[in-house]
Structure 1
């Protein structure tokens, strides 16, 4: 029995050596194969008879560090997000151009203000008037070009959403297909190891586009979820991203959670049970290229458009809007009369009062002629608080609406009594001593080039349409204004109106009132800017001149691009480091494989020698028996 046991052990050793040699050969052959994970034979001891034991190979193990692999996937998603963000923000900087160079907003605005200053210096010469109008047209054109550049980037991102969704779907389908093939196979099966390599590669590819969390169950099925818990892959089943592109986007093409109102492509994820989830509306993904595309398309680049729209709107209104203080009412009760005659949609009444806590409050009444746009939304504790109403609705109706909206403020609104006109609104305290009306004024858009005032509609919304800041159900007139802004065609035809602001009496030759005013409005007057531009906050909005505002948002965008590039570089280092760490334990080490090969060669020779000795001993035994 001893010789037979020894022979069996040697035979099992040879078989184990052959299996191990096959695995070493596979490792060496695939040392340069992307995604291949080095394999190690699983060898166990099996007892035979009274003495000795045999060796048995039960499959292979993959030399994989799951913890590092999961980290690598997480950071790959972060890298995909950072790469796309940095790439688009770098292109956005190209849209703005290098500060100081020609063909930039900053240069165009400077040229325009310089031309207005020269117009005053030259006492309204015709050549200076022509130059100033040309500079205004160049500024409007630069705003148009900037808008086209921003919307082109949004359209590119929109297109990338479709491309990325298709790539993610291909990975999801491959993972689900491999899951099906792995059903019934033990994880130590050599053929399973090859499939798991392929599945890991597909998961790694998926992680570039979306954030993933991977779990593996007892039947060797990979279940993949987003970090928000949406299942992407189950046992043989895969969710699918669906994307319906909206084509080229414009400034008014904005995301809305209501599909009927949304102006951008709809990205959804269709689950295996047939239900569909809006990816953007439900924040399904938080990292990866798809998450970056959604934020860029619906937030980052929209805010960039809001910044240039705000520049166009402030610049237009600064030159065309005339603010008139209300007429003081001595009381009691004390307050002001405000004339609403001639107010355009979007024009405003501004009130300042001190409340019962001695806090100064501001209220802006906005002329809204589209009832579908009401009520206007206000941020919590907004100051000023906006109230929308139709100024042409009659003073009685206006007063009643305001008294209801501001009940508890200790303000009282009414139609001003005779001899005031039927278009005059009166605001006073309620004579309780708990509120004090400090000031009131109305701001209206001047529509004529020769109104007798220095204000004029130099810039218009398109050819001749006034920019008044009108609000309708479809949004604010300011949205996309930078892409539509133009110089008033009447002014282009007659540049003398940059100096002549009255025809009765006629503005004297050499009068620089209008050009002085225009220059001062653009360079010295301080305005308040919407926090939606990313500057300031609702409680402390950014304030400054038009030039200050332009420099500020360009600086903010430049810093954002710099930070995005730094993050991209940092993520690249992290991914490279994790990849190297993963490779150090999971990739094929040729030195180790060569060492294993020598050991196998020696072991094989030793097992063969044992068999030779056993055969010799058996021959001796047979001869002795003979």
Structure 2
């Protein structure tokens, strides 16, 4: 081997070690950077005239396990969906409260029944009658508060949909832009690895909103589709998505008429077409707004109607008719099953017994429709009201209740259903978190291993030293030749 060839081989070795150490440094520096893929130096034997001639650097590759990455994105979408549903279920359960705890709906009902029993024992005591009115108002207020919380959750979900759609549009535009930049760098022969990392991170964020599948296209570009097949990006221009937020969502407002659905390329999707965007936080927020919250509202409205009907029965209070309002009213009028949607948010105590509204508390003793206070010792109406709440009555027509039960039992059923929904959501979230964590661990295992990178660094150090010694030996030989 000639001195010139030996020198060329050593220099190529130094060049390769320099590129290798750069890759190791980049790996260690970005070990925790989202979307970063491990860099591996690719080298091969360099040939010159059919003979070995040093090391050729073929390039730097990104180490990405495409199948695991795809699984990870789907798992993150499922995690985001489960977390969003769990947040809603927990919020509503907390609003209803745990029976017996101060501030809970069950505690408000119990206080009202206790006040009724106390007043029945001393119907002549105006203070006790006033306490019944106060506790009835507190019960109505708790129903109002829970209903308001449900509608607030719907409003928050509606706003979250708008936020998700805006983020989705921005992210898709960024992916399309990166596709163009990567194509240019690929054509120039430059290394677009950093742009690949950026794109991978953006797509991973998109997958939390809606699960995506990535398909490789020419010149390093990618196309994106939802897991159910909707096109998000395939070409230079991403799909245009839009959504019109409602501002304030109230009971009775339904999807597709009063509430916007997702709009794709100018056309509003139907309920059946929305399955194309199933999974992720976007689908979860639509489910909260259009399914979960309305179902919770309906349960609460059924309970409010049951409360109203028990105390608006002429068999309980002979001074009212079947068309008259009882102790509880629907905004001042008698409630009906046909208009019960949102009743829990509108239910109020009848002004006839509220002193601040010009009423008299003695009507709790004499009757809601009485014109005189009657016998001060007559407790029959108070006892009848108390029994009406405690008796196992048949479910009111138009409600989701079945069989016979007391009002407390109806409330316990509502509490149980809300608690069960939260427990199920918690279980689902736990499963999804476990699955996502497992897949993330697999993805991390294919990522940067600091110990392995340090071993590579030692190998590059040894290779550098060996090539440096060759150059040093050549220098010594050249010096000796020149001295001859």
Under TM normalisation by the shorter chain, which class is it? 0.7 to 0.9
Higher relative contact order (CA 8 A, sep 6+): 2
Greater Cα shift, 179-188 or 309-318: 179-188
Mind listing any 5+ residue stretches in structure 2 that lack a counterpart? none
CA distance in 2, matches of 1:23, 1:123: 87
Give a deviation string over 1:147-203, Cα, whole Å, max 9, x none.
222222222222222222222222222111111112255499663211111111001
440, 450, 470: which one aligns with 2:319: 450
Q: Say if 1:483 and 1:83 are closer, same or farther in 2 by CA, change over 3 A.
A: same
CA distance in 2, matches of 1:582, 1:542: 53
CA distance in 1, matches of 2:33, 2:421: 39
Q: Say if 1:152 and 1:100 are closer, same or farther in 2 by CA, change over 3 A.
A: same
Mind listing any 5+ residue stretches in structure 1 that lack a counterpart? 324-445, 471-476, 536-540
Partner of 1:426: none
- Matched residue count: 478
**Between Structure 1 and Structure 2, which shows a larger proportion of strand residues?**
1
* Alignment root-mean-square deviation, CA: 3.6
Q: Is the 8 A contact 1:59 1:190 kept in 2?
A: no
Partner of 1:514: 381
Q: Is the 8 A contact 2:89 2:422 kept in 1?
A: yes
Q: Say if 1:64 and 1:511 are closer, same or farther in 2 by CA, change over 3 A.
A: same
Partner of 2:22: 22
471, 476, 496: which one aligns with 2:362: 496
Partner of 1:93: 93
CA distance in 1, matches of 2:177, 2:240: 14
Partner of 2:262: 268
Q: Is the 8 A contact 2:365 2:373 kept in 1?
A: no
Q: Is the 8 A contact 2:301 2:340 kept in 1?
A: yes
595, 600, 604: which one aligns with 2:460: 600
CA distance in 2, matches of 1:269, 1:456: 45
Q: Say if 1:552 and 1:189 are closer, same or farther in 2 by CA, change over 3 A.
A: farther
Give a deviation string over 1:366-417, Cα, whole Å, max 9, x none.
xxxxxxxxxxxxxxxxxxxxxxxxxxxxxxxxxxxxxxxxxxxxxxxxxxxx
**Pairing 1:136-155 to 2, within 5 Å after superposition:** 136-155=136-155
Quote the offset at 1:551 in angstroms.
0.8
**Pairing 1:51-450 to 2, within 5 Å after superposition:** 51-122=51-122, 126-186=126-186, 191-255=191-255, 257=256, 261-262=257-258, 264=259, 266-271=260-265, 275=267, 277=269, 282-321=274-313, 450=319
454, 461, 464: which one aligns with 2:330: 461
Q: Say if 1:176 and 1:287 are closer, same or farther in 2 by CA, change over 3 A.
A: same
Quote the offset at 1:479 in angstroms.
0.5
CA distance in 2, matches of 1:509, 1:622: 131
Q: Is the 8 A contact 1:452 1:503 kept in 2?
A: no
CA distance in 1, matches of 2:272, 2:151: 19
Q: Is the 8 A contact 2:314 2:320 kept in 1?
A: no
Partner of 1:392: none
Q: Say if 1:516 and 1:47 are closer, same or farther in 2 by CA, change over 3 A.
A: same
Q: Is the 8 A contact 1:5 1:51 kept in 2?
A: no
Q: Say if 1:542 and 1:67 are closer, same or farther in 2 by CA, change over 3 A.
A: farther
CA distance in 1, matches of 2:221, 2:253: 42
Partner of 2:392: 525
Q: Is the 8 A contact 1:17 1:600 kept in 2?
A: yes
Q: Is the 8 A contact 1:225 1:231 kept in 2?
A: yes
Q: Say if 1:281 and 1:320 are closer, same or farther in 2 by CA, change over 3 A.
A: farther
Q: Is the 8 A contact 2:16 2:57 kept in 1?
A: yes
Quote the offset at 1:523 in angstroms.
1.3
Quote the offset at 1:276 in angstroms.
5.1
Partner of 2:349: 487
Q: Say if 1:107 and 1:590 are closer, same or farther in 2 by CA, change over 3 A.
A: closer
Q: Say if 1:584 and 1:285 are closer, same or farther in 2 by CA, change over 3 A.
A: same
Give the 3-state SS of the residue equivalent to 1:44 in structure 2: strand
Give the 3-state SS of the residue equivalent to 2:170 in structure 1: helix
Output the TM-score relative to the length of structure 1: 0.68
**Pairing 1:582-601 to 2, within 5 Å after superposition:** 582-587=443-448, 589-601=449-461
CA distance in 2, matches of 1:247, 1:284: 25
**Between Structure 1 and Structure 2, which shows a larger proportion of helix residues?**
2
Quote the offset at 1:126 in angstroms.
4.7
